[in-house]
């Protein structure tokens, strides 16, 4: 795929434009125009620093002014290529592409998708002053009333709700959930029909849900935890490449539980009294989305729960910072532990080798020291024992007991034979064979 030459390793886009993360599209546009006039190359000829700043401003605005790119930036942060902020346009996919998209979504791999231009045009149409005459109508949401509905893929159902001064004082929340585990977007538009907030559905235990909070207290926003870390997979039949997350095997998962935690200030004043428009956008690849949506103003009954949330969320915010520091300490200790294990392995191999060499050396020492004695015994066994046995056989043939009395001349021969036998017996070093042979002879 052709890679965009524009890189985004330039810092935080919101800081570059000098706007808050919850700024409206119009506020972002106004900030861009002001900065563009200040740093435009025509106003600063020959000033390379101004030209570089103008490029950064243009890149930041090109992302934050587009609702799809802005949402992707808010979720994943800066990327090295501008096209990494472009979600997948499901309308461009064929049947095979939709099937694999649904399969990956089922496996828990988040695939960023775009809101179709048709839906954005409908939102602008609904925001007109003569909305009553528009072909697209927004269904009103009454406080506390659950509305069950369904929407097709890449289409939207529009709703309106009335923000009163009383609601603004205590705050409101809008919750959309799908017991069918469908994938959808909850989108809030500003008065001009531009996208103001997008919330992706997140998987819970038995459903998927998305919430919009406008409350008078600070809270944290925590996106869905996905126990996988960054990798790229190529869809030749879909689009080029999509950025996903893959398991980080080097770092334990608890260090990533709070990765997506962001502190959000009190934002109830964003919604001025009057009518506001939102939609539920079907984000499934194959089937329609079944959901329930509710508009809930906060009231006095919620005060105890709000206190509990206000006590708990700062703990999580500080815990994120603690875990970031602890991760550095943990990884440092882990590297030392891995080095210690490697050293232990090498030491074990070296010690085992030394012990084997030592044992072999001692065996060799015994062999060397016993060689002279082994040679003497070999000579004795080779000359003494066979000679002794031959002599025994010879003497037995002489039949000394019978011949000595008959032939007196043999007496001296017998005496000499006995002397030879005694000498041979000594040479045989007490051989059991020779001893028994001699005993048998005599």
Counting every residue, how long is the chain?
442
Q: Are 196 and 24 in contact (CB under 8 A)?
A: yes
d(CA 249, CA 312): 30
Q: Which segments of the chain have a pLDDT < 70?
A: 1-9, 42, 67-68, 71-72, 75-112, 129-136, 224-249, 285-286, 376-442
C-alpha dist (Å) from residue 16 to 13, 34, 61, 80, 146: 5, 12, 9, 17, 41
Token pair 């919620």 is found at 302
pLDDT score for 245: 41
CA dist 334 and 340 (Å) reads 10
pLDDT of residue 295: 97
Q: What is this structure's pTM?
A: 0.59
Backbone angles phi, psi at 366, to 5 degrees: -60, -40
Residues with Cβ within 8 Å of residue 136, at least 6 apart in sequence: 122, 125, 126, 158
User: pLDDT value at position 364?
Assistant: 92
- What pLDDT is recorded for position 333? 93
How far apart, in Å, are the Cα atoms of 37 and each of 51, 157, 354?
12, 40, 78
**pLDDT per residue as tens digits for the range 355-382:** 999 999 999 999 899 888 877 666 655 5
Distance separating alpha carbons of residues 132 and 407, to the nearest angstrom = 159
* pLDDT score for 130: 46
Q: Are strands 139-140 and 156-163 parallel, antiparallel or unpaired?
A: parallel
Q: Give how far Cα 11 sits from Cα of 48, 49, 243, 343, Å.
A: 18, 16, 20, 42
Non-local CB neighbours of 213 within 8 Å, separated by 6+ positions: 171, 173, 219, 264, 267
With CA atoms as reference, report the closest residue to 198 among 114, 141, 142.
114
Give the per-residue pLDDT at 235.
41
As a whole number of Å, the end-to-end CA separation of the chain is 110
Q: Which pLDDT does position 428 carry in this prediction? A: 52
User: Rounded to whole angstroms, how far apart are CA atoms 113 and 99?
Assistant: 15
Distance CA 198, CA 190 (A): 12
d(CA 110, CA 107): 9
């Amino acid at each position: 795929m052709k890679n965009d030459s524009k890189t985004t390793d330039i810092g935080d886009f919101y800081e570059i434009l000098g706007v808050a993360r919850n700024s409206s599209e119009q506020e972002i546009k106004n900030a861009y125009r002001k900065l563009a006039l200040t740093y435009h190359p025509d106003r600063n000829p020959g000033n390379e620093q101004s030209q570089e700043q103008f490029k950064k401003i243009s890149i930041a605005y090109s992302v934050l002014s587009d609702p799809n790119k802005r949402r992707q930036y808010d979720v994943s942060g800066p990327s090295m290529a501008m096209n990494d902020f472009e979600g997948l346009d499901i309308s461009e996919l064929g049947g095979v592409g939709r099937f694999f998209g649904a399969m990956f979504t089922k496996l828990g791999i988040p695939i960023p998708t775009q809101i179709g231009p048709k839906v954005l045009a409908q939102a602008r149409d609904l925001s007109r002053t003569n909305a009553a005459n528009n072909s697209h109508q927004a269904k009103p949401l009454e406080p506390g009333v659950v509305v069950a509905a369904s929407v097709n893929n890449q289409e939207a159902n529009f709703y309106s709700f009335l923000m009163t001064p009383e609601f603004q004082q205590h705050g409101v929340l809008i919750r959309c959930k799908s017991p069918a585990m469908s994938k959808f977007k909850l989108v809030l538009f500003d008065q001009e029909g531009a996208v103001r907030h997008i919330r992706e559905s997140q998987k819970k235990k038995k459903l998927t849900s998305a919430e919009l909070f406008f409350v008078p207290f600070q809270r944290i926003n925590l996106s869905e935890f996905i126990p996988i870390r960054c990798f790229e997979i190529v869809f030749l039949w879909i689009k080029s490449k999509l950025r996903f997350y893959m398991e980080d095997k080097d770092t334990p998962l608890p260090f990533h539980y709070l990765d997506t935690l962001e502190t959000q200030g009190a934002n109830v004043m964003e919604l001025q009294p009057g009518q506001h428009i939102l939609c539920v956008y079907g984000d499934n690849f194959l089937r329609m989305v079944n959901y329930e949506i509710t508009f809930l103003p906060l009231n006095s009954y919620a005060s105890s729960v709000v206190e509990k949330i206000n006590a708990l969320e700062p703990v999580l915010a500080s815990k994120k910072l603690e875990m970031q520091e602890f991760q550095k300490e943990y990884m440092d200790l882990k590297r030392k532990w891995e080095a210690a294990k490697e050293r232990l392995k090498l030491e074990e191999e070296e010690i085992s080798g030394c012990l084997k060499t030592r044992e072999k050396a001692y065996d060799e020492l015994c062999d060397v020291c016993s060689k002279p004695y082994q040679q003497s015994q070999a000579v004795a066994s080779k000359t003494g024992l066979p000679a002794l046995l031959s002599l025994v056989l010879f003497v037995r043939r002489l039949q000394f007991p019978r011949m000595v009395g008959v032939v007196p001349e043999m007496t001296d021969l017998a005496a000499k034979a006995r002397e030879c036998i005694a000498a041979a017996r000594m040479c045989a070093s007490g051989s059991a064979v020779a001893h028994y042979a001699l005993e048998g002879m005599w």
